[in-house]
């Protein structure tokens, strides 16, 4: 695929971004488009490797290796190199309903398993995917495609995040009447409120695709929480099938002294309030603001990075990010071979911005919080920390142990807990009588997605646990396929 000698002739290049100190002054996306000639050269680096691992989509050592939705990457790389952009978009849409989302927010496990990446920088797959999608929008190739025939079957989807949107798109095009219930005031779920605007623009990107789905016949009902202001039993009575795509929204807490102080928030509470304020045109008084405050972010993953970037834009006075794990190596460790996801040190966009403003990467590794200290008004004013080392306990499990003499006190008027999620919220599942597994996720076999309730399916994080957006796409499409089979006795959905 691509130019046979392209991987030898061309070096890896990625789209340029606005300077960190410039982009933190606004909430706009900050990557530039790469000129077409350059992008075609990048596609030409796809090396006709014979056995492309980039679209395998398997789990190795608990992490994704290759694309979980099995994007036909070598095929559309070849088409881009040849200048056949519309054909490339057609190939991309065969496996991916929303490539403009994954092209922005997916961590690109495809690049981690690229064969070229064994001994050279991998192909810039993510940037090429995004450029194909945006070319499709700008050229008018992406238009509503309502089904020619309706089946008369009605499907409810609970949750309008990545899994829910994929399931809705697939089932609607199969001819079913799809209604998506969303408890927030806008559709999109994690895509709308869990990812900041500078990483994924809501008006220009997310709502653009929502409007297309609406034009195709998908109905979105917002401000409606099934099991609360919409009785759960109505789903079973009024719809022929239901897919639960509620996500894993139960955050992991940190039960240390002072947890109930004012100014200690879960990350998603903070990110949601910030995005909502931007979309509503509100000022700092309408959201949880970091302006003029010392901020401590606890957790080193993507959500923690988004908190860092948001706090910097809001004008925080200082920022520290605590990470309980050790600092990753600069290169793959011997026990992390290709094609596993490379667990190496990265300076993500938020840390890059914090470093530009404050002089260094805000992350402090092998460190945890032991106590939140409050002032006379009950507001957090400091975080007590200690360094840790990882040791095996009596059951052979690695657990963090405090290192005596490493205690510190950090000033903090805002603390953000970004330590991941434990699973789906339980009230709706209780109301429907849904069986759960040992981790409190919905019990439904992968690739079948059927729960213990006939006609009720589950997909995404509420079934598999906290995971990547692209896995949610995989599951939303898969659940739509099995739901269609349940309704019609057969299915043509992929």
The correct answer on CATH 1.10.760.10 for the domain covering 154-249+422-488 is no
At residue 3, the pLDDT reads: 86
18, β-bridge pairs: none
Binned at pLDDT 50, 70 and 90, residue 287 comes out as: confident
Tokens matching residue 140: 């008018």
Which of 269-283, 351-365, 442-456 has the least mean pLDDT?
A: 269-283
At residue 283, the pLDDT reads: 58
- Each domain of the chain, given as residue ranges in start order, spans 6-138, 154-249+422-488, 253-419
At residue 48, the pLDDT reads: 87
Question: Which residue in 33, 67, 46, 38 sits closest to 4, CA to CA?
Answer: 46
DSSP 8-state symbol, 175: T
Cis amide linkage into residue 339, ω under 30° from 0: yes
The correct answer on CATH 1.10.12.10 for the domain covering 6-138 is no
| CATH number listed for the domain at residues 253-419 | 3.50.50.60
Q: Is 278 helix (H, G, I), strand (E, B) or coil?
A: helix
Angle made by CA atoms 132, 138, 143, in degrees to the nearest 5: 90
Tokens matching residue 39: 């992008």
pLDDT at residue 119 above 70?
yes
CA distance 276 to 200: 14
At residue 1, the pLDDT reads: 61
382, β-bridge pairs: 373, 411
CA distance 319 to 350: 11
Per-residue pLDDT tens for 451-477?
999 999 999 999 999 999 999 999 999
pLDDT at residue 413 above 90?
yes
CA distance 95 to 108: 15
Q: Is 485 exposed, middle or buried (0-12, 13-18, 19+ CB in 10 A)?
A: middle
Binned at pLDDT 50, 70 and 90, residue 204 comes out as: very high
C-beta of residue 71 within 8 angstroms of C-beta of residue 123: no
**pTM assigned to the model:** 0.95
Mean pLDDT of 279-292: 79
Mean of the per-residue pLDDT values for the chain?
A: 96
Binned at pLDDT 50, 70 and 90, residue 249 comes out as: very high
Mean pLDDT of 68-90: 97
C-beta of residue 178 within 8 angstroms of C-beta of residue 217: yes
Q: Residues 6 or more apart from 37 whose CB is under 8 A from it?
A: none
Query: Do 6-138 and 253-419 have matching folds?
Result: no
pLDDT at residue 125 above 70?
yes
Per-residue pLDDT tens for 30-78?
999 999 999 999 999 999 898 999 999 999 998 999 999 999 999 999 9
pLDDT at residue 286 above 60?
no
Per-residue pLDDT tens for 154-192?
999 999 999 999 999 999 999 999 999 999 999 999 999
């Amino acid at each position: 695929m691509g130019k046979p000698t392209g991987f030898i002739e061309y070096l890896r290049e990625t789209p340029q971004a606005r300077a960190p100190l410039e982009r933190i002054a606004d909430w706009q996306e900050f990557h530039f488009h790469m000129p077409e000639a350059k992008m075609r050269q990048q596609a030409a680096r796809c090396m006709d490797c014979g056995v492309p691992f980039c679209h395998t989509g398997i789990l190795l050592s608990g992490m994704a290796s290759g694309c979980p939705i099995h994007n036909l990457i070598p095929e559309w790389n070849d088409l881009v190199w040849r200048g056949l952009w519309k054909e490339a978009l057609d190939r991309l849409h065969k496996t991916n309903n929303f490539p403009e989302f994954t092209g922005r927010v997916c961590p690109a496990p495809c690049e981690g398993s690229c064969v070229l990446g064994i001994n050279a920088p991998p192909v810039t797959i993510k940037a090429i995917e995004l450029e194909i999608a945006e070319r499709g929008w700008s050229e008018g190739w992406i238009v509503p495609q309502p089904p020619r025939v309706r089946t008369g079957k009605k499907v409810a989807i609970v949750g309008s995040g990545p899994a829910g949107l994929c399931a809705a798109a697939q089932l609607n095009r199969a001819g079913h009447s799809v209604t998506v219930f969303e408890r927030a005031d806008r559709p999109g779920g994690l895509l709308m409120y869990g990812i900041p605007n500078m990483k994924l623009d809501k008006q220009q990107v997310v709502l653009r695709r929502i409007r297309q789905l609406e034009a195709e016949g998908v109905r979105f009902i917002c401000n409606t929480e099934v099991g609360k202001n919409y009785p759960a039993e109505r789903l079973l009575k009024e719809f022929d099938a239901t897919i639960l795509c509620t996500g894993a929204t139960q955050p992991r807490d940190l039960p240390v002294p002072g947890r109930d102080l004012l100014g200690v928030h879960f990350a998603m509470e903070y990110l949601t309030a910030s995005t909502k304020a931007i979309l509503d045109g509100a000022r700092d008084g309408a959201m949880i603001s970091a302006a003029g405050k010392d901020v401590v972010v606890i957790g080193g993953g993507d959500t923690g990075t988004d908190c860092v970037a948001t706090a910097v834009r809001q004008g925080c006075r200082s920022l520290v990010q605590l990470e309980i794990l050790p600092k990753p190596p600069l290169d793959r460790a011997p026990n992390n071979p290709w094609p596993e996801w490379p667990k190496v040190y990265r300076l993500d966009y938020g840390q890059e911005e914090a470093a530009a403003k404050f002089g260094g990467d805000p992350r402090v590794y092998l460190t945890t919080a032991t106590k939140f200290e409050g002032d006379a008004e009950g507001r957090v004013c400091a975080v007590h920390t200690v360094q840790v080392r990882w040791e095996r306990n009596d059951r052979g499990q690695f657990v963090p142990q405090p290192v005596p003499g490493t205690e510190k006190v950090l000033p903090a008027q805002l603390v953000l807990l970004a330590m991941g999620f434990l699973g789906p919220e339980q009230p709706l599942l209780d109301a429907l009588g849904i069986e759960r597994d040992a981790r409190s996720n919905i019990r439904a076999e992968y690739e079948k997605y059927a729960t213990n309730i006939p006609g009720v399916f589950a997909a995404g994080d509420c079934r598999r646990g906290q995971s990547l957006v692209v896995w949610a796409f995989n599951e939303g499409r898969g659940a739509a396929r099995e739901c269609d089979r349940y309704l019609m006795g057969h299915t043509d959905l992929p």
